[in-house]
Amino acid sequence: MVTTPDPPVAQTPVGQVAPLVITWEPLPDDVLLEDEPAENTGQPLIAGALRESLELIGFIRSEMLIASNFGLCATVNGDLVIKAPDWVYVPSAHPSELAADRRSYTPTLQGDVPLIAMEFLFHKDGGEYSVKRTFPPGKWFFYEQILKIPVYVIFEPADGLLEIYQLTAGRYELQPLTPENRCWIAEMGLFLGIWQGTKEERTGYWLRWWDEAGNLLPWAVEQIAQERQRAEQERQRAEEERQRAEKLAEYLRSQGIDPDAL
């Protein structure tokens, strides 16, 4: 068990300020995790597409943990708290024999604090924005004050609205977006932003990555299309060269010169 020093404070039932005691303990084997389905078919597609681009550029390493709808754990004042962001990125997690079958993740105890947590809002209830401090705490308070995740992303797929918050002096501060609706994530060396189009039969707004030069990181289907386009361009260039060579040979023959003898 690891205890966090200098814990944040919360309001007691009588309105007095009291410290939060935060500890990092393994999830007991007998704890049943909620097996909630995705809110709709778009949620897993958006999450999977974010990972796919990173895989294709070789960004992902074996020590990283990237998951969707995956429980993050902490024990607050003796009570276990589990929150499942729609997408989470951990730069380095301790190796596990059952890494592919992790039930949950406890920061500090099992590796780094997540660098990014994302929520995809398909409803306007504001649940992901909750700053509720009493048990069970809201997601905003949990990410900001307990886990202290550096980057918190809130995305509304229906409207293409994106808010990216950076942990600054212990509080989330809204970051400005570029005119292209992107935000530089310095810790990853990538831009995160909005893209509109179609993938896997879903047409709408997506979260996507761009490199420092502003190049969109492709999905596999786009990469295949690009390779096919390059191959077709090469084929066309080769055909044009063949035609030019044939015309030159015809001209030489018309002048009584055997091109094969040159």
Distance separating alpha carbons of residues 28 and 32, to the nearest angstrom:
9
- Please indicate whether residue 36 or residue 152 has the higher confidence score (pLDDT): 152
pLDDT of residue 38: 53
What is the predicted pLDDT for the residue at 146? 95
Among the residue ranges 24-33, 127-136, 145-154, 167-176, the one predicted with the least confidence is 127-136
Q: CA-CA-CA-CA torsion for 215, 217, 219, 224, nearest 10 degrees?
A: 50
pLDDT confidence bin for 185, thresholds 50/70/90: very high
Lowest mean pLDDT among 38-47, 147-156, 182-191: 38-47
Please report, for the chain, the start and end positions of each structural domain, with discontinuous segments joined by +.
2-218, 235-261
- 225-234: pLDDT as tens digits: 677 667 566 7
Q: What angle do CA 10, 74, 131 make, to 5 degrees?
A: 40
Task: Please tell me the distance from the alpha carbon of residue 165 to that of residue 90, in angstroms, as a whole number.
Answer: 17
pLDDT of residue 34: 65
Q: Where are the alpha helices (DSSP H) in the chain?
A: 42-56, 139-141, 220-254
CB 155 within 8 A of CB 161: yes
Residues 212, 215, 220, 224, Cα dihedral to 10°: -140
Higher pLDDT, 27 or 139: 139
Q: Report the C-alpha gap between 90 and 73 in whole angstroms.
A: 13
Distances (CA, A) of 99 to 66, 103, 105: 11, 9, 10
pLDDT band at 70 (very low <50, low <70, confident <90, very high): confident
Q: Residue range 114-122: average pLDDT?
A: 94
Sheet holding 72-76, edge to edge: 2-3, 22-24, 72-76, 79-83
- The per-residue pLDDT for 9 is 46
In the structure encoding, which two tokens stand for residue 194, read together?
């909005």
Residues with Cβ within 8 Å of 188's Cβ and at least 6 positions away in sequence, in order, are 59, 89, 115, 116
Architecture in CATH for domain 2-218: Alpha-Beta Complex (3.90)
Percent of the chain with pLDDT over 70: 81
